[in-house]
Chain A
Amino acid sequence: MKSAPVPTVFIVDDDLGTRRAIQDLVESVGLRAQAFATGQEFLDRRHASEPSCLILDVRLPRMSGLDFQRQLAETGAQIPIIFVTAHGDIPMSVRALKSGAVEFLTKPFRDQDLLDAIQQALQRDIAAREQQAEIHNLQERYQLLTAREREVMTLVVTGMLNKQIASEISASEGTVKIHRGQVMRKMQAESVVELVRMADKLRLSPRK
């Protein structure tokens, strides 16, 4: 039996004491923790296979935590971030939260606040990962469709009848019916409604 992967909490803080204290606190609740002094170290060493979140100090040498957050977003690395700072102000926290941060905590923080934020962040990551996995699955199924089948699918999800589709693609209604059956089978869709939801997740847009 394959057990669920243990989530990992990553910590980036230039202050060794803080780094070690947070790591210890995280471990005390049975989570895995990995701490780095700089953002670069984190990028080099982290493993994205299991659910994770990042506790990021706002004030870092060379690159601020907020700048690092932006850099991560630009490279497409999706990891929920919890900001901690020894002296933060409201504009800074607003900016961080708008950019998608889970929480913005001011040192010294209550341990429960941090742990709650970690829980929240991990759940968000798990949900994101599940969604990502589903899309990945749908994409694999979509890859099995022929070009004609993809064309038919795009038109089916707009709610068109077989007859309309046949006229649209200049084929017989019977041919459309066969394509449609193949699409439903390959995409493993039980109903047109489910197929529409799949197309939505795949971000398919009807051809003009």
Chain B
Amino acid sequence: MVPFLIFLLILSLSVGLLSWRRNRRLLVEARNASQARGAEGTNELAEATTDRKRAEEERQALSRDLQESKAWLEEAQRVAHVGYWVWDLGTDGLIWSDETYRIFGVTPQDGLIDLDKLREMIHPEDREAVFRTAEEAIRSGARADCEHRLFRPSGEMRVVHSLGDLKKDSSGRPCQMFGTTQDITERKRAEEALRRSQFYLSEGQRLAHIGSWAFDESGHYWSEELYKIYGLDPQNGAPTVEQYLALVHPQDRASMAETIKIMLEQHRGHDLIERIIRPDGQLRYVRAVAVPVFEQGIFKGFVGTTMDVTEHELLTRELQREKAYLAEAQSLTHIGSWATNFHTGQMFHLSDEVYRLHGFEPNQGPSALERFWDTVHREDEPIVRATLENAIRARADYDIPEFRVCHADGSVRFLRTIGHHNRSGELGDYVGITMDVTERKQAEQERERLRQLESNLAHTNRLNMMGELAAALAHEIKQPIAASVTSASACLRWLAHDPPDLERARAAAIRMKEDGNRAADVINHLRSFYKKGTPTQCEMVDVKDIVREMTTLLRNEAFPHSITIHSEFDGDVPHVLADRVQLQQVFMNLMLNAIEAMKETGGGLTIRSGPNPERQLLISISDTGVGLPMEDTERIFDAFHTTKPQGTGMGLAISRSIVESLGGRIWATANQGSGATFCFTLPVEAEEHA
């Protein structure tokens, strides 16, 4: 467009100039002719008048022509934004066309233009260059050609392109410069915009690591960035298919060759990720997209983009690896992770392990939350739902330590699930984990079974121990008694001799006395065993601890007989100085007796402890069982006194020994209703002695 305008301008200018010169010549000729005719005579006046008239008409016609031409010229100048100017080098006077005025944003009415004014209007940075160009042209005679900026009086800046040709007078000296000035502001702006957009495009490609290419019959175009991606030199031009394939990673080469083949033969595009090895050896991942171009159904070529996705790809691979590790860890530990909204039923994340924990195949798992609910054991569902609903309402975290799920194959697993309320999220938004605790649960059950066994053993052991103790005791006591009896027999026999052997009889009697004392010693020794205890084992004992321990230990004993164990602590239960094991034995004896008494009927075992008015710790163990024998209740504490078929008759006796050795007292009372209450006291050490 612009070159055409310039052409038009030059054309109009030449036409204008030509017609102006022609008219002017005609005018001069006409004037000369009329002057000549005037000198010839007046008789020729009429003729002359006619001539003049004709000449006038001609002049008017010419003037019209001229006016018209001038108008066209003006129009052409205006359309092309080209003005002309004449610079008289002798006077430095300037003649501007209307368009030139318009370009400079001034009007002829504002006053004649001169060099100073012109200089002022030219952009200060360009001023010197403009005049230097002009001077250069004047000196060399060559055409002046320069682009420069100017400021209109309104302050608006324009960019113009000026050309100037030198005119010489008859002596060959430069006298005039004729030139044009074209307003190229718009063109400049367009050029600038184009340049900028191209810059942005290439910069964008550079930043995004995206290169573009086009391929058609006219050739193969590669963008700058594309060369950079492949590590190629743009100087060498776009590579051939063979050269290109050489860059592709050997493992991807065959498939890429196939892709290119299909692309060329079937005009089919592609979008794939391939590995390339740059000439410098660097491995890069690129995403190559090719799109075929059709014009009116006819294949024209391909356009495409190639993006360097190495970082992205490496990250993706890293992510996939991490995910695989995580899945592996989850499957090893049987812990699944999830994120869901219980309110809307939306599931945002479910790891494979969650599916497996609920007995589903990960890739064939359900898409609805309800199907997970279906696996929850019917007995556990209400409590799980209630816990969940409460947590959701309170927007709180929850931990369901144990619930059962039933797998399709009929197996039952114990799960634990922990949910964290997503605080920034909406109602019911939870993230959490679910884990399989079946093994732990089984281990717990096994442990419980073992503990029970242990407790049973302890009980049996205790009975055995009592048996052993009784046997040992029997032996120890029997020995001196037997010796004494034998000595008595010998004594009698010495006395029966004739005469009686008094010396031997006396000796036998002395041995009888010794052996009798020995038997008593054994019993005293046994009593002192409990009386003295072992002082080093005495410590400050919290009776509450012992009650709890014994309750736990004997619960298994009580449970099968529908006996409940209940303990009450009255205020602050003070610590007592005692041998922990002995005190445990007292509790065990009394509690076992109570359980024994209720075995047939079931009932309640209540342990109360608290300080009594005498500043002692009073402990009572009540049952609702068969109660006490009618006879003297004190007798029940005697050794070997038993009312039970399997009893050793030692339990209460030992308990009394222990309690008394600790400075306490033990007694039993019959309850108002059914059962009995055994009480014992333990002295409380003053705090400062503790």
Contacts and interface: CB of A to CB of B under 8 A. Distances in A.
Interface of A: 15, 17-18, 20-22, 24-25, 27-29, 59, 86-87, 107-111, 114
A33 B481 CA distance: 21
Nearest to B518: A17
A87 B481 CA distance: 13
Contact of B486 (A29, A59, A87, A108): A108
Nearest to A24: B490
A59 B476 CA distance: 12
A17 B522 CA distance: 14
Nearest to B474: A87
Interface residues of B, number: 26
Contact of A21 (B490, B494, B504): B490
Given A15-B483, A86-B478, A111-B490, 19 more contacts: A15-B479, A17-B487, A17-B518, A18-B486, A20-B483, A20-B511, A21-B508, A24-B487, A25-B493, A29-B493, A59-B475, A86-B475, A86-B479, A87-B474, A107-B479, A107-B482, A108-B485, A109-B482, A110-B489
Top-10 shortest CB links A-B: A111-B489, A107-B482, A17-B483, A108-B482, A21-B486, A28-B493, A108-B485, A25-B490, A24-B490, A21-B487
Q: Which of A28, A86, A109 has the most CB of B within 10 A?
A: A28
B479 A25 contact: no
A207 to B, nearest CB: 56
A87 B483 contact: no
Contacts of A20: 483, 487, 511
A24 to B, nearest CB: 4
B308 interface: no
Contacts of B515: 17, 21
Contact of B479 (A18, A22, A109): A18
B480 interface: yes
Contact of B481 (A22, A28, A108, A111): A108
B112 interface: no
Given A86-B478, A87-B474, A25 B504 contact: no
Q: Interface SS of chain B: helix, strand, loop or mixed?
A: helix
A59 B489 CA distance: 23
Interface string B494-508: 100100010010011
B133 to A, nearest CB: 137
A18 B489 CA distance: 12
Interface of B: 471, 474-475, 478-487, 489-490, 493-494, 497, 501, 504, 507-508, 511, 514-515, 518
Contact residues of A: prevailing secondary structure: helix
Contacts of A18: 479, 482-483, 486
Instruction: Point out which of B478, B484, B486, B508 has the most chain A C-beta atoms below 10 A from its C-beta.
Output: B486
Contacts of B489: 25, 110-111
B410 to A, nearest CB: 54
B495 to A, nearest CB: 9
A28 B514 CA distance: 20
A87 B475 contact: yes
B475 A25 contact: no
A17 B511 contact: yes
A107 B481 CA distance: 9
9 contacts: A15-B480, A17-B514, A24-B507, A24-B508, A25-B489, A28-B493, A59-B475, A107-B482, A111-B490
B486 A25 contact: yes
Given A28-B504, A86-B475, A21 B493 contact: no
Contact of A111 (B486, B504, B507): B486
Contacts of A110: 489
A55 to B, nearest CB: 11
A86 B482 contact: yes
Contacts of A21: 483-484, 486-487, 490, 508, 511, 515
Which of B471, B489, B497, B511 has the largest count of A CB atoms less than 10 A from its CB? B489
A59 B478 CA distance: 13
B480 A107 contact: no
Most buried by A among B478, B481, B482: B482
B479 A24 contact: no
A29 B501 CA distance: 12
The interface centre, meaning the residue of A25, A29, A110, A114 with most chain B CB atoms within 10 A of its CB, is A25
Given A17-B514, A21-B486, A28 B494 contact: yes
Nearest to B489: A111
Contacts of A108: 478, 481-482, 484-486
A113 to B, nearest CB: 10
Contacts of A17: 479-480, 483-484, 487, 511, 514-515, 518
A102 to B, nearest CB: 18
Nearest to A15: B479
Given A17-B518, A111-B489, A111-B490, A24 B504 contact: yes
Contacts of B486: 18, 21-22, 24-25, 108-109, 111, 114
A110 B486 CA distance: 8
Nearest to B471: A87
Contacts of A28: 490, 493-494, 497, 501, 504
Nearest to B505: A28
A93 B471 CA distance: 18
B679 to A, nearest CB: 38
A107 B478 contact: yes
A149 to B, nearest CB: 56
Contacts of B482: 18, 86, 107-109
A41 to B, nearest CB: 19
Contacts of A59: 475
Contacts of A15: 479-480, 483
A27 B483 CA distance: 15
Contacts of B483: 15, 17-18, 20-21
Contacts of B478: 86-87, 107-108
A145 to B, nearest CB: 53
A20 B493 CA distance: 15
Nearest to B501: A28
B472 to A, nearest CB: 9
A109 B479 CA distance: 11
Contacts of A86: 474-475, 478-479, 482
